[in-house]
Amino acid sequence: MRYLWLALSMCCTLLSAQSTLDLSSCLNYARAHNLELENGRLGERTAHFEKKEVVGSLYPQVSGTFSNTYNGILRTSILPAEAFGGQEGSTSEVQFGTTYESTANLQVTQQLFNPSLGSSLKLAEQNKLLQQTSLRQTEEQIAYNIAILYYNIIIQDVQQSNLEASAATLDSLLQQGQLQLEEGVARQVDVDRLQVNANALHSQIDQLERSNEQLLNNLKLQLGMPLVTPLALASITLPQLEDEVNTTGPKSNTFSQRPDIRMMEIQEEMSVLQKRINQQGYIPTLSLNLQAGSISNRNDFGFGDANWNDYLGLTLNLSVPIFDGFQRSAKNQQLKIETEMAQNNKRLTEQRAEYELSNARSQYDNTNTELKQQRQNVDLANKVFSVSQLEYQEGIIPATTLTEARNDLTEAQNIYFQTLLELLQARLEVAYSQGQVVQFIEQQ
């Protein structure tokens, strides 16, 4: 997996150097550089090692110890004096042991029967699955953010190109008006009106450039790209955008792939497992313990001629829970409540998903209908402006009428572009409510 991400990172770096990224390339770049996704992968790795930790408890547990004790004052014991030939009924004080005592010990413990360990292993597996699903949810959210910014930038680029073409046409008319003014066939007020409209168009172009710069910076943040790195998106023409909208309409009506719903299901399963583990605490456990070692007793410090005495012990331990002050019962009630809450959260998430999907599809259908109407308005406004432009050049209409037609066309185009962006965003909303944003992007 590490080598896959490394190769992907190199690929994205190459794409960045070429300064052209399409939507799919943006997502791949974010997969390799976005720190939120990196943290999600780290959480997944943590869950993997948590599972290995539980698996390790099923193996024999081996430990070794070595100790060296200095007995500055030997312990005194009281023994019957008659055992040493003394008077019956009297006692004698006797000191046992040596000045130095060393112990080397090896202990091996093996669980033979502990049902909670099996449930703990299943719980660790569910936790790993939860982290994987959480990573997928994070990827869905970042993919959605990237796509929203991407389409905003693309639409504004197309809009800017359209305004630049209109500005070039208006500048040409302004030059003609200046010539007509010099020849005495045009009025100063008409030329001034053209100048005002030309200035307004150039102002809109400047605003779009500044807006695009901010959107690009926001996109770099989502990608995990340094702000100083040049970024340019692959150019898309207006017909390509319109074809994309027409060919990628939502088809399915399901939200079963949403990662947040899957997370609710996993959390519900984990609550059941935690309750089972708690209940299994009532079951006796059986383990085997082996202790082997050696003890040395001597009055002088050193190990050269020490007398070592070996020992070996094998113990079978049966632990039977009898009474815990009702702690496990109280814990069981807590886990029961948590399970009910997890079930409620799942149903609540499903209800919210159904609501979001229904609204998103309705918004998409309405916006799609509106886009067709706005397309007709643009065609009509363009037709009116073309006729007005010819009539102005022939001196039939004044500059006022021409500028009004120009303003109507610009307004119709701006509304069309805004509606097209809203339709693209509505399509993303449908994909997001279905948990299919990444899939949607990868199919582009």
CB atoms within 10 A of CB 137: 18
> By the 8 A CB rule, do 136 and 36 touch?
no
Q: Enumerate the domain spans of the chain.
A: 2-33+114-283+324-442, 65-113+285-320
Q: What is the pLDDT of residue 342?
A: 87
Mean pLDDT in residue range 115-124: 91
Average model confidence (pLDDT) for the chain?
A: 85
pTM of structure: 0.81
For residue 1, pLDDT over 80 is answered with: no
Residue 2 pLDDT grade (very low, low, confident, very high; cuts 50, 70, 90): very low
For residue 7, pLDDT over 70 is answered with: no
Lowest mean pLDDT among 47-56, 390-399, 415-424: 390-399
State the Cα torsion 318-322-327-330 to the nearest 10°: 110
User: Who has greater pLDDT, 146 or 88?
Assistant: 146
Residue 158 pLDDT grade (very low, low, confident, very high; cuts 50, 70, 90): confident
Q: What is the pLDDT of residue 304?
A: 61
Which alpha helices (DSSP H) does 184-317 contain, by range? 188-223, 238-247, 259-279
Mean pLDDT in residue range 62-80: 85
Write down the number of H helices and E strands in the chain. Answer: 10, 6
Lowest mean pLDDT among 72-86, 223-237, 318-332, 347-361: 72-86
The gap from C-alpha 165 to its chain's centroid, in whole angstroms, comes to 42
Q: What is the pLDDT of residue 359?
A: 92
CATH number (3.30.750.24, 2.40.340.10, 1.20.1600.10, 3.90.280.10) of 2-33+114-283+324-442 reads: 1.20.1600.10
Q: What is the pLDDT of residue 129?
A: 94
For residue 10, pLDDT over 60 is answered with: no
> By the 8 A CB rule, do 298 and 306 touch?
yes
Q: What is the pLDDT of residue 3?
A: 40
> By the 8 A CB rule, do 414 and 394 touch?
no
